[in-house]
Amino acid sequence: MGEVNNYQSTRLGEVRERALVWARVLEYLSPWIDSESPVVEIGSGTGDIIGQVNASERIAIDSDPQAASLHLEGVRGELADARNLPMLSDASIGTVIASNVIEHLSPDDAVVCVNECARIVRPGGHLIVIQPNFRLCADHYFDDYTHRSVFTDVSMSDLLKVSGFDVARCEPRFLPLTLKSRLRHGYRLVPLYLRSPVRPLAGQMLVIGRRR
């Protein structure tokens, strides 16, 4: 697990404002998060997202036993592979959040993962995907040596459609490629940034699927 921790410290860094940024992003995403049903975050990592979600039950999924999200108070931590979630029943989850995780899987495994999300999400529930949009950041996409799959807003939307979701929202330009960017220093301005039609430095996309 030393490699995982070294990767996180190298790629993620110590960004004290990260949780503050995500708090404001979650406010923006709240129309698609069912607070009265369980919410799952796959690849939950540091816990900055699942630790702040408003839900009847919060479930963190990560394959690293040292991931902080698995040990948060009030969060059910599950040490598991996002491609196989037998501890979660069919159609039992209101919302699944996948932030910067699917691109780290091989193309075949990405399909398996999204299909597993489709299995656990109830009809009308949502899968929220946030990750790099290759067509916006091709020059830097493989600076992260753990990236395995290439997705754009078009290909991710298609993957969700063939997996049993309708696309409820697609924003090709959503957030900067990394929260090491200057946006973190102006975290109070995140709501203004997300309302802007311009969104400078945006390299990540948002694709939300609604389960049929």
pLDDT band at 182 (very low <50, low <70, confident <90, very high): low
The confidence band for 107, taking pLDDT boundaries of 50, 70 and 90, is very high
End-to-end CA distance of the chain: 38
Position 94 confidence tier, pLDDT thresholds 50, 70, 90:
very high
**What residue ranges do the domains of the chain occupy?**
2-211
What is the model's pLDDT at position 46? Answer: 94
CA nearest to 62, candidates 103, 12, 4, 106: 4
**CA angle, 19 then 69 then 53, to 5°:** 55
Q: What is the mean pLDDT of the chain?
A: 92
pLDDT, position 178: 80
Confidence (pLDDT) at 17 = 84
Cα gap 117→70, rounded to integer Å? 19
For a pLDDT cut of 90, what percent of the chain falls above it? 84
Asked if the model's pLDDT at residue 5 lies above 60, the reply is: no
Report the distance separating Cα 44 and Cα 98, nearest Å: 8
What pLDDT, on the 0 to 100 scale, is given for residue 1?
A: 46
Q: Is the pLDDT of residue 71 over 80?
A: yes
Q: How confident is the model at residue 177 (pLDDT cuts 50, 70, 90)?
A: confident
Give the CATH class of 2-211.
Answer: alpha beta
Give yes or no for residue 189 having a pLDDT over 90: no
- Of the pLDDT bands very low, low, confident and very high (cuts 50, 70, 90), residue 129 is very high
Quick one: average pLDDT of 182-200?
82
pLDDT at 159: 98
Task: Write the DSSP assignment of 9-74 as a string of letters.
Answer: HHHT---TTHHHHHHHHHHHHGGGS-TTSEEEEES-TT-TTGGG---SEEEEEES-TT-GGGG-TT
